[in-house]
Structure 1
């Protein structure tokens, strides 16, 4: 049975965990019911590791934390944000401008569970988008939807980043849009286990910028720690 006070904090890589934990260490007392685990790098590892961690720890909620690449004006480098939805890009047919997502082709990534006339538990199908939860004291702005685009490979240039940014389907300059490689996998595992999933990401770089000398990973993770401490 899940412990109502238990939070499972998932972080993709050891480097992110070490940096983030340094900033969180002074607040360890307020996070005594938290379990921190690595979820691995990428959509596949993160989904599998999240499922295993949920089964092991039986938490009341899951939080994914780490870095991401910014895809909108509001995703300023060094800032951190809670997200409202995760979109999967790359599962379907084709690539680039020729890409067609699974859902657009009429395929669900996870089907509706439960058959009519049976006692099976019914669960919603999952297409290319999953809604995320937010901490209770961090209400969402209903006029703005922060969107995380989860990908198998990060944007290599501005053209790829621009195409991905358009997937958010919003022209709101206040909306934060970013790309990562784990959120959709973590959210899928949570969806399949009816587990609330929250995601906070620090913007380490502009998506498509591969010059690491311009990245601000430490600042981004410090901002993530600030968001977590405001909630815990």
Structure 2
């Protein structure tokens, strides 16, 4: 079952490959294709669509590191139950209006529940500290406590913030391919404190997570 894994940057791609090297690939379960396509939803959508146009895949996984909301502490791993474009819409005098209410499309994709359950079980069995919840895609990374509070209020249970998930999900949906988003937490969403970021640890956690996923990524 061919799997496509999309990351933003090379460090994330290499972390994923570090985990999948332990997989026992076969004709029926080949090693996944892992691509770094650039940061942001536009680059993610374009890179994913180009890869899907070139080859046939049964599942797309957006993987990387990200900022965690209160439910997902630094060091944990988030498996998205839904992928949400948190800033796709319009600002009005009465607050933010999502794109659905403007009549221009959708701002969320739901993950397949059975797939989330199977993948979640594999991660827990490997001792991975796992959080399930919505993954928010933004074009501008949150840098203040006020914005973090706004996002939490607008998206109850939000677990992680990233910049690519909705772009990957949009492309996958256009090709009729199911999608998952999995991120390891390097920092808390809120005021930017680079000294508190744990990027190397989050990349190692990404490797650990993917090592545990052999055999579970089947739609």
Unpaired stretches in structure 2, ≥5 consecutive residues: 122-130, 215-219
Q: Measured at CA, do residues 25 and 129 of structure 1 come closer, stay the same or move farther in structure 2, by a change above 3 Å?
A: closer
Structure-2 separation of matches of 1:203 and 1:97: 33
Structure 1: runs of 5+ lacking an equivalent? 110-126, 171-175
Name the counterpart of 2:217: none
Distance 1:96 1:154, change over 3 A: farther
Q: Report the CA distance shift for 1:97/1:169 in structure 2 as closer, same or farther (over 3 A).
A: farther
CA contact (8 A) 1:8 1:57 kept: no
Select the residue among 166, 169, 186 that pairs with 1:204: 186
Shift, 1:96, TM fit:
10
* Structure 2 CA distance for aligned equivalents of residues 211 and 228 of structure 1: 28
Q: Which residue of 2 aligns with 1:36?
A: 34
**Count of residues in Structure 1 that have an aligned counterpart in Structure 2:** 200
Q: How far is 1:145 from its partner?
A: 5.5
Could you tell me how far 1:135 is from its partner in structure 2?
A: 5.2
Q: Is the 8 A contact 2:67 2:161 kept in 1?
A: yes
Alignment check: 8 A CA contact 2:77 2:184 kept: yes
Counterpart contact for 2:19–2:209, Cα < 8 Å? no
Equivalent residue number for residue 27 of structure 1: 22
- Using the TM superposition, give the Cα deviation of residue 35 of structure 1 relative to its aligned residue in structure 2, in angstroms: 0.7
**Which residue pairs with 1:137 in the alignment?**
118
CA spacing shift, 1:40–1:162, aligned 2, 3 Å: same
So what's the TM-score if we normalise by structure 2? 0.82
Deviation at 1:71, TM superposition (A): 1.4
Determine the C-alpha separation between the residues in 2 that align with 1:136 and 1:55.
29
Residue of structure 1 equivalent to 2:91: 94
Q: CA deviation at 1:93?
A: 1.4
The separation in 2 between residues aligned to 1:37 and 1:185, in whole angstroms, is 14
Instruction: Measure the CA separation in 2 of the matches of 1:209 and 1:156.
Output: 5
Normalized per residue, which structure has more strand?
Answer: 2
* Residue 6 of structure 1 pairs with residue 8 of structure 2: no
Q: In 2, distance between residues paired with 1:69 and 1:58?
A: 31
Checking the alignment, whether the CA contact within 8 Å between 2:8 and 2:164 is kept in structure 1 is yes
Which of 80, 85, 92 matches 1:83? Answer: 80
Cα distance in 1 for partners of 2:200, 2:51 equals 26
What's the RMSD between the two structures over aligned residues? 2.4
1:78–1:202 contact (8 Å) kept in structure 2: yes
Question: Does the alignment pair 1:223 with 2:205?
Answer: yes
**Quick one: distance in 2 between partners of 1:132 and 1:24?**
23
Deviation for aligned residue 1:166: 2.0
1:116-195 equivalences under 5 Å are 127-133=106-112, 134=115, 137-138=118-119, 146-170=133-157, 177-195=159-177
TM-score calculated relative to the size of structure 1: 0.77
